[in-house]
Amino acid sequence: MENSDRVYLKLFSGFLSAVIFVFILKELKGIFIPFFIALLLYFLFNGVVNRLLYWRVPKTIVMTFLLVFIFILLYFFGLLIFSGISSFVDKFPEYNVRISEIAKNISHNLKLPVKELQNQINNYDWTNIFGHVTQFLSSAFGSFASFIGNLLFIVIFLIFMLGGRNSLMNRVRGAFSKERSESLISIVKSIENQVQHYLVLKTIVSFLTAFISGLIIYAGRFDFLLFSVILIFILNFIPNIGSIFATAFPILAGLLKYGFTMRVLLVSVGLMLTQMIIGNVIEPKFAGRNLDISPMVILISLIFWGYVWGITGMMLAVPLTSAIKIIFSHIELLKPVSKLMSSE
C-alpha cells in the first residue's frame, strides 16, 4: 500500500470514528449528561469534602450531608424552573392580543410598499407563536419527571466519584509505572484545579448577575420575575451568547406589557449595563487567563456541544473543552492541537 493510500485510509478512519463518537454522544445523552453534570459537581465540591475530612469529620457524615444537600438544592432549583415555565405558559396567551397590536403598529409605521406583505402581517394568527414557544420550552427542559430521573442519576454518579477518588488514584499508581502514573495524576489534578476555579467563579458571577438583574426587574414591575432571574442565572453559564438571551427575555416581556415606554427603556439599559460591567470588567479581573482557551475554540465548542446536547451541552461546553485541552497538552502527538486551542 502506498503512503498516500495510507494517509487517506487514516483520514477516513478518523472521520468515521468521529461520526460514530458524535452519534453515541447524541443517542446516549440520557446517561452522558447526568454523568458530566455529576463530574462538574464533583469538581465543585471535592475541595469541601477534602477540607472536612482533613478536619477529621467522619466520611459517612460528610458524604451523607453533602449528597442530601445537593439533592435538595437541585430539586428545589428544578422546581423553581418548571414552576416558572408553567407560569409563563399559562400567562403567555394573554400577550397574543398585545403581540398582534404591536405587529400591526410596526407594519403601519413602516408603511411597507408591498400591500400583500402588509396584509399578511396584519392578518397573521399570532397565536401560533404560543405553540412554538411551548414546544421549544418542552424540548429544551423536558418534563419534571425526567428531571427527577436525571437528578437521581447525578446523585448516584456523584456517590461513586466522591467516594472512589482516592482508591482510583491508588489503582492508577499500581497499574502503571511511576512516571506514567504521576503523569496521569497530574492531568487529573490540572483538570480539577482549572475546572473548579472556573465553576466557582462562574457560579458566583452568575448569582451576582441574576440577583442585581432581579432587583432591576422587580423595580420595573415586569412579569415573570422569578423565571427571568433563574433564566439569567442558568444562561450566564453559556459564554458570549448566553447573556444576550438571558437579557432579551425580560426585556421582551416588558415590551409586551408596557410597550415602548421610559420604564422599559430604563430597565433594559439597567439589565444590559449589569451584564456588560459584570461580564467585561468584574469577571475577567478575577478569572484572568486561567482557562487559556481561544474565543474561536469556545464558539466552535458551543456550536458542537449545543448540537449534541442542546442547552445543557452549551453550559458544559467550556469545562469540557478545557479538560480536552489539558489532556491534549499531555499527549506528545496532540500538543500542537492544544497550542492551537490556546488563547496565546
Q: What is the pTM of this model?
A: 0.77
Query: pLDDT at residue 112 above 60?
Result: no
pLDDT digits (tens, 9 = 90+) for 236-278: 888 777 888 888 888 888 887 887 788 889 999 999 999 888 8
pLDDT value at position 70?
Answer: 85
CA dist 84 and 262 (Å) reads 27
pLDDT value at position 264?
Answer: 87
pLDDT value at position 215?
Answer: 93
pLDDT digits (tens, 9 = 90+) for 46-91: 777 878 877 888 878 888 888 888 888 888 887 877 777 777 667 7
CA dist 123 and 118 (Å) reads 9
Cell matching residue 340: 492551537
Q: Which of 209, 213, 211, 276 is nearest to 236 (CA)?
A: 209
pLDDT value at position 15?
Answer: 75
Cβ atoms 141, 81 nearer than 8 A: yes
Residue 112: helix, strand or coil by DSSP? coil
Helices assigned H by DSSP within the chain: 3-27, 29-54, 59-91, 96-110, 115-123, 128-141, 144-175, 178-219, 225-235, 242-258, 262-277, 283-287, 295-329, 335-341
pLDDT value at position 213?
Answer: 92
pLDDT digits (tens, 9 = 90+) for 102-111: 666 665 565 5
Q: Which of 124, 79, 83, 84 is nearest to 253 (CA)?
A: 84
Q: Which of 143, 140, 148, 179 is nearest to 309 (CA)?
A: 140
Query: Is residue 103 classed exposed, middle or buried when 0-12, 13-18 and 19+ CB atoms within 10 A define those classes?
Result: middle
Q: At 127, phi and psi to the nearest 5? A: -65, -15
